[in-house]
Amino acid sequence: MKKFSQLILENGSTTVNNLLLTYYKKIGLKSEELLVYILIKKTDSFIVPMPNIKILAIQTGFSEKHLYAIFHNLITNKMVKIVSKQVNNKKYDAYDFSNMYNKLEDYVNSLGDDNSDQNKAISNSEKNDKRNVRQEIFSNIEKEFGRTLSPIELETISQWFDIDNYDPDIIMLALKEAVLNQVRNLKYMDRILGNWEKQNLKTVQQIEDYSNKRNNHKLSNDENGYSGPDIPIIDLNKI
């Protein structure tokens, strides 16, 4: 067996910035989330390859289910996002912790701001409201799908908010339509949202008006002896 001193050198060291250790709770990071980050980061800080969940369970003493919940929360709270990397023509998925450090930077910078406590409280309240709405969307989709969402699915939903800027009510409407059609997957919801966007439908009312117009058009065709294919229409008034 190798000497302990030799093992120490061969395994290297993990460094963590002291600012993160000092303010991690201030930016909304839990102690167990910080522990998981430290265990998986090794020599990296921002882009960290997805770990072997079984090995991580042994290291932490957490169950695999609890570890998945931890990563779920990190994604939900926008501490981390999933990215694809390529090394030597091999692709792999990784966790990008850049957002966590962006939050840390914002907090550290805020310590020197002249903003009033009231303005800070309003800003924090708005952030909490947005976070709660996003968490509610995650929970509703998981409830309707009857299962826990994967990290990739969580990232897809986050992109609906952050990149596509879909209104939460529109996302919920797409979920209802997917459930009514018994197609419980995000790809179907994404097609629904994409089709509405192509039609420049930005509000629930616009979608309902568009649907009613299509329904009336279908009824008119039926009355005039239309013999074409039957195109399914969702009656949003019954949702």
Q: Are 32 and 145 part of one and the same domain? A: no
Are 109 and 119 contained in the same domain? Answer: no
Mean pLDDT of 5-34: 84
pLDDT at 103: 93
Q: What is the pLDDT of residues 105-158, one digit of tens each?
A: 999 888 875 555 545 554 555 665 677 888 889 889 999 999 888 888 888 888
Same domain, 102 and 201: no
Choose the final residue of a domain: 73, 93, 113: 113
Please give the tally of structural domains in the chain.
2
Q: Name the pLDDT band for 226 (thresholds 50, 70, 90).
A: very low
**Quick one: pLDDT at residue 231?**
42
Q: What is the pLDDT of residue 224?
A: 55
93 and 190 both lie in a single domain: no
What is the extent of the structural domain holding 31?
Answer: 1-113
Strands ordered across the beta sheet of 81-87: 47-49, 90-96, 81-87
Torsion of CA 22, 34, 130, 203, to 10 degrees: 140
120 and 234 in one domain?
yes
Q: Indicate the residue among 88, 113, 138 that finishes a domain.
A: 113
Contact 49, 92 (CB under 8 A): yes
- What is the structure's pLDDT at 98? 92
Residue 95 in contact with residue 41, Cβ under 8 Å?
A: no
Radius of gyration of the chain from its Cα atoms, rounded to whole angstroms: 24
What pLDDT sits at residue 123? Answer: 56
Tell me the C-alpha distance between 24 and 6, whole Å: 33
72, 135: one domain:
no
- CA dihedral (173, 179, 183, 185) positive or negative: positive
How confident is residue 237, by pLDDT bands cut at 50, 70 and 90? low
pLDDT band, residue 5 (cuts 50/70/90):
low
| Span 89-110, pLDDT tens digits | 888 889 999 999 999 999 988 8
pLDDT given at position 209: 86
